[in-house]
Amino acid sequence: MPWSVRWVGSCGAQSQKQCKKSSFAFYQAVRDLLPVWFLEDMRTMEVFHWEDGGKVSAYSPSEALLYALVHDHQPYARHLLTKFPQSALAVPSQSFSCCQSAPHLAMAVRYNRVRVLLRILKAIQALPPGDRAAHLDRRGCSRVEGGKTASHMACELVRPECLLLLLGHGASPCLRDSAGNTPLDTLLQQISHGPAANMCAKLLCLDCLFFFVPQDLKFAMKQQLLDNRQQWQDLLGESRFQCLVGLVPPSLFVGAMRVLIRTISPEHFPEALDNLPLPQFLKPLDLKLES
């Protein structure tokens, strides 16, 4: 079998070569969506990866989950999060992440793995409050990710389902990245400069943010909106624009939805959205989320 390798303790170069061969075999096995039991046998007994400094390491549940995210191996992700709820969300080795924080939420958003993202968020809810906040509001590496949170990334990549799940499970919509931008600023930049093809998804992200951001949120793009009023009114619509820059208070509907959504605990999100006491045509977000 390609991952069955013998280690040569005295020959670092040969061991490193065997590690790479073994590591790639595991990557391929996850990519090919092989059965969970087979992958776990490989991970725990047969495959290793090479660390800086010449250390040979087995794959941790956290590192295996990153592979499951990349290749959308949902059964494997579910197994890892169920059997290893804490270690699956631990910080991976430096060969997987340049900064010492767990990148799983950002990775799920980047690859738009909505179902796995929901499972990760459910697992995070079981953590102590401090650990929970550290995961939800984790800032990415300033050098590579610009200090963006997963919510920033959901706005930058225009992932409305991901954004709704993050905010509904307690991620902050107010944090700033290394450039001083909130997720709202990031989204407005996408609306202004990005292609018009996915404008509906961008406005859906904006409507999602409306239900979670505080009314007095200070954001960097506000002055630009005021200086280019007609352009932004055309892009956003007059009611969104006026509410965003504070010319009018939020509509009664937006205010009511903010109150209603706050009554939903993260443990029951997003399922409880369907139980909001509203007719279907007034449901706040036209998203198809599955638990």
* Residue 287 covered by a domain: no
- Lowest model confidence (mean pLDDT) among 55-59, 167-171, 238-242, 243-247: 55-59
21 domain residue, yes or no = no
Tell me the residue type at 194.
G
CATH number of the domain encompassing residue 120: 1.25.40
CA atoms of 140 and 101, how far apart (whole Å): 8
pLDDT digits (tens, 9 = 90+) for 246-286: 999 888 888 888 888 888 888 888 888 877 776 665 565 55
pLDDT tens-place string over residues 124-149: 999 988 899 999 999 887 777 888 99
- The per-residue pLDDT for range 58-93, each reduced to its tens digit, is 889 999 999 999 999 999 999 999 999 999 999 887
Domain tally, the chain: 1
Domain containing residue 264: 97-282
Q: Which two tokens stand for residue 255?
A: 């205010």
Quote the CA–CA distance of 202 and 191 in Å, as a whole number.
7
The answer as to whether 38 is a domain residue is: no
84 is a domain residue: no
Instruction: Check: CB of residue 289 under 8 Å from CB of residue 270.
Output: yes
Q: Is residue 247 part of a domain?
A: yes
